[in-house]
């Protein structure tokens, strides 16, 4: 019985380890970086295609315990731990199975946590109006009293042209006037600097 269980543990370690290494290599080569093979992604209809699978990430990063990477790490370390403990006569069959399950579960949680933390590092690079509040710049297209013009400001490290209006509706700001962004509404609200 012990040799059969050793073989089962070894098979889990080899198959899980092989898929884990392949999946990691694919990740570094740029294939499947989202790790979106979440078990909850397939709709109730059964078959999944690119238009029905949800691969979005929340702003805080998703915690996906049952991802392909998490499952392969579980099977790899479950098998390896069980085989080592059983082969080395450290524990019996039940103890090796329980220990292997525990180590595999820890590996799966750690893998999910790593993917959650790395997804927080991603940014979309979009500059929003609110990012420009407090920035300084210059008037690009003259702002006439009661009308909007355009300003050039640096927001999030990028120089952008935004539609803007003067804080004082009666003010006129000619091209080249130094400004500071005081608010963001439907357009930027600026004042002389």
Confidence of residue 123 (pLDDT cuts 50, 70, 90): low
User: Which segment of 51-55, 143-147, 188-192 scores lowest on mean pLDDT?
Assistant: 51-55
Domain that holds residue 181: 129-192
How does strand 149-155 pair with strand 136-141?
Answer: antiparallel
In the chain, pLDDT over 70 holds for what percent of residues?
77
Q: What is the mean pLDDT of the chain?
A: 77
Are 23 and 98 found together in one domain?
yes
CATH number of the domain encompassing residue 181: 2.40.50.140
Are 79 and 144 found together in one domain?
no
Are 34 and 86 found together in one domain?
yes
Query: In this predicted structure, what is the pLDDT of residue 59?
Result: 40
Between CA 114 and CA 175 the distance in angstroms is 50
Confidence of residue 42 (pLDDT cuts 50, 70, 90): very low
- From 76, 93, 120, the end of a domain falls on 120
Between CA 130 and CA 111 the distance in angstroms is 35
- From 91, 120, 149, the end of a domain falls on 120
Q: Which residue has the higher pLDDT, 27 or 37?
A: 27
Query: In this predicted structure, what is the pLDDT of residue 182?
Result: 92
Split into its structural domains, the chain has a count of 2
Are 32 and 114 found together in one domain?
yes
Are 33 and 108 found together in one domain?
yes
């Amino acid at each position: 019985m012990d040799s059969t269980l050793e073989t089962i543990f070894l098979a889990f370690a080899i198959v899980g380890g092989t898929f884990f290494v392949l999946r990691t290599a694919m990740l570094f080569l740029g294939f499947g970086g989202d790790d979106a093979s979440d078990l909850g992604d397939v709709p109730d209809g059964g078959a999944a295609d690119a238009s029905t699978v949800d691969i979005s990430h929340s702003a805080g990063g998703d915690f996906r315990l049952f991802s392909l990477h998490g499952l392969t790490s579980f099977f790899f370390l479950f098998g390896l731990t069980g085989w080592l403990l059983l082969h080395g006569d450290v524990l019996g069959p039940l103890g090796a199975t329980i220990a292997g399950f525990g180590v595999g579960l820890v590996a799966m949680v750690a893998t999910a946590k790593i993917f959650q933390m790395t997804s927080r590092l991603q940014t979309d690079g979009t500059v929003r109006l609110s990012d420009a509040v407090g920035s300084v710049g210059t008037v690009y297209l003259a702002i006439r009293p009661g009308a909007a013009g355009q300003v050039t400001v640096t927001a999030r490290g990028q120089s952008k042209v935004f539609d803007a209006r003067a804080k004082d509706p009666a003010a006129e700001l000619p091209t080249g006037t130094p400004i500071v962004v005081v608010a963001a509404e439907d357009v930027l609200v600026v004042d002389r600097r």
